[in-house]
Amino acid sequence: METPVALLLELGVILAALSILGTLARRFTLSPIPLYLLTGLAIGEGGIAPVPAAGEFVGTGAAIGVILLLLVLGLEFSLAEFAVGMRRHVPSALVDAVLNAAPGAVAGWLLGLDGIGMLALAGATYISSSGIVARLLSDLHRLGNRETPAILSVLVLEDLAMALYLPVLAVLASGGVWWQAILGVLAAVGAVLVAFAVSYRWGHHLGRLLSHPDAEQLLLRVLGLTLIVAALAELVHASAAVGAFLVGLTLTGETAARTRAVLSPLRDLFAAVFFLAIGLSVAPADLLPVLPAALALAAVTVVTKVLAGRYAASRDGVGPRGQWRAGTALVARGEFSLVIVGLVGTMHSRLGPLVTAYVFILAIAGPLLTRLAGALPFRTVPLTDAPGGTPPTNNEGPGR
Partner 1 sequence: MDVTEVLLPGVGLRYEFTNHRGDRVGVVARRTGDFELVVYEGPDPDEGRSVLQFNSEEADAVAEILGAPRIAERFADLTKEVPGLVSGQVEVGVGSAFDGRPLGDTRARTRTGASIVAVVRGEEVIASPTPQEVLRGGDILVVIGTHGGITGVEQIIRG
Interaction site with partner 1 (CB under 8 A): 76, 80-82, 84-85, 130, 134, 137-138, 141-149, 152-153, 155-156, 257, 318-319, 321-322, 325, 374, 378, 380
- Would you say 72 or 210 has its CB closer to partner 1? 72
The answer for residues whose C-beta is within 8 angstroms of residue 323's C-beta and 6 or more apart is 147, 309, 310, 313, 314
- Would you say 32 or 131 has its CB closer to partner 1? 131
- Would you say 116 or 133 has its CB closer to partner 1? 133
State the minimum distance, in angstroms, from the CB of residue 148 to partner 1: 6
The answer to whether 168 and 182 have CB atoms below 8 angstroms apart is: no
State the minimum distance, in angstroms, from the CB of residue 150 to partner 1: 10
- Would you say 154 or 168 has its CB closer to partner 1? 154
- Would you say 336 or 360 has its CB closer to partner 1? 336
State the minimum distance, in angstroms, from the CB of residue 238 to partner 1: 25
State the minimum distance, in angstroms, from the CB of residue 157 to partner 1: 9
User: Which has the closest alpha carbon to 51: 346, 352, 276, 268?
Assistant: 276
State the minimum distance, in angstroms, from the CB of residue 244 to partner 1: 18
State the minimum distance, in angstroms, from the CB of residue 381 to partner 1: 12
b vs e for 308-332, b when ≥16 Cβ sit within 10 Å of the residue's Cβ? bbbbbbbebebebbbbbbbbbbbbb
3-state secondary structure of 30: coil
> Which phi and psi (to 5°) does residue 388 adopt?
85, -5
The answer to whether 263 and 71 have CB atoms below 8 angstroms apart is: yes
State the minimum distance, in angstroms, from the CB of residue 311 to partner 1: 15
Q: Which amino acid is at 303?
A: V
Q: Which amino acid is at 245?
A: F
State the minimum distance, in angstroms, from the CB of residue 340 to partner 1: 20
Radius of gyration of the chain (CA): 21
- Would you say 172 or 318 has its CB closer to partner 1? 318
State the minimum distance, in angstroms, from the CB of residue 239 to partner 1: 23
Residue 225, CA distances (Å) to 67, 214, 218, 230 in order: 12, 17, 11, 8
User: Which has the closest alpha carbon to 251: 225, 275, 213?
Assistant: 225
Q: DSSP class of residue 376?
A: P
- Would you say 143 or 197 has its CB closer to partner 1? 143
The answer to whether 32 and 15 have CB atoms below 8 angstroms apart is: no
Q: What is the DSSP string of 219-262?
A: HHHHHHHHHHHHHHHHHTTS-HHHHHHHHHHH--HHHHHHHHHH
- Would you say 24 or 143 has its CB closer to partner 1? 143
- Would you say 212 or 260 has its CB closer to partner 1? 260
